[in-house]
Amino acid sequence: MDIGERIRHRRNELGWSQDRLAKEACRVAGVGPDALGRQEIYRYEKGTRTPRDWLPAIAQALGLSVYVLGGEQPAGGGSLSGVWHSRYTYVSTGKGEVTRHHHVLIRQTGNRLRGESLPGSNDSPIFLDLNQDGPALTGTWTERTAAGGYYRGAVYHGALQLLVEPTGRDMAGKWVGFDKTFQVDAGPWQLSFVTADTTRGTLARLNRPPLR
């Protein structure tokens, strides 16, 4: 599958038109809505033109990394360092099933991984502290809920175990922790690779709620 096919495949998964993708890419890039048009997306998908300068914005708009969209392997020799789209689900006694999304910056040193959500991606920050043993990541999570939110600034924490897929672009598993009534609960947690680029400009662009 070439880059144009990957763009078209992911766009169709999202149910977007070519015009919608063009406008989302412009929004991500911080430029006017007419800087990239439907015709350009059409040419990219047909393979008659290569995105080049637009690749990062299109990839981010589609919720993919530039490596996945470009068909390349992430840099770093298998390191999991980078920005990831985190999503986990829990059942709230007052709101039912809830899924929370964050952009999380992960830094890996040896087999130790530390993660912290970008502040603009969610008003309830999360922190991860994990150890890697082959494809398995085991450790702890902490969430500080928003002071003005439903949980009124409460801090929750618990255990987390994830398995990294062979591609190194996804990890999924389960969290365990206590709720506001001090009952022990569990639920799914998944992280999808966004980018290995952790420069200031990239972190600024990703300092917002992830695309669902």
Instruction: Indicate which CATH number applies to the domain containing 44.
Output: 1.10.260.40
The share of the chain scoring above pLDDT 90, in percent, equals 59
Placement of tokens 């708009």 in the chain: 61
pLDDT category, 32, cuts 50, 70, 90?
very high
Q: Does the pLDDT of residue 134 top 80, yes or no?
A: yes
Q: Residue 92 domain-assigned?
A: yes
Q: How far apart are CA 140 and CA 159, in angstroms?
A: 4
Closest residue by Cα to residue 175 from 84, 86, 89: 89
pTM for this one?
0.63
pLDDT at residue 107, rounded to an integer:
94
pLDDT category, 76, cuts 50, 70, 90?
very low
Instruction: Indicate which CATH number applies to the domain containing 126.
Output: 2.40.160.90
Q: Answer with the one of 70, 98, 116 that is the final residue of a domain.
A: 70
pLDDT at residue 147, rounded to an integer:
76
* C-alpha of 194 from chain center: 5
Which tens digit of pLDDT belongs to each residue from 145-193? 887 776 677 899 999 999 998 778 899 999 999 877 788 999 999 999 9
Contact 25, 34 (CB under 8 A): no
Q: Residue 75 domain-assigned?
A: no
| Residues 104 and 150 reside in one and the same domain | yes
Sign, Cα dihedral of 175, 177, 180, 183: positive
**CA distance to 36, 48, 66, 102, per residue, from 32 (Å):** 8, 24, 22, 26
| Residues 62 and 139 reside in one and the same domain | no
What phi and psi, each to the nearest 5 degrees, are found at residue 21? -65, -40
| Count of the separate structural domains present in the chain | 2
pLDDT at residue 151, rounded to an integer:
67
Of 30-34, 72-76, 200-204, the range with the lowest mean pLDDT is: 72-76
* C-alpha of 202 from chain center: 13
Q: How far apart are CA 51 and CA 162, in angstroms?
A: 34
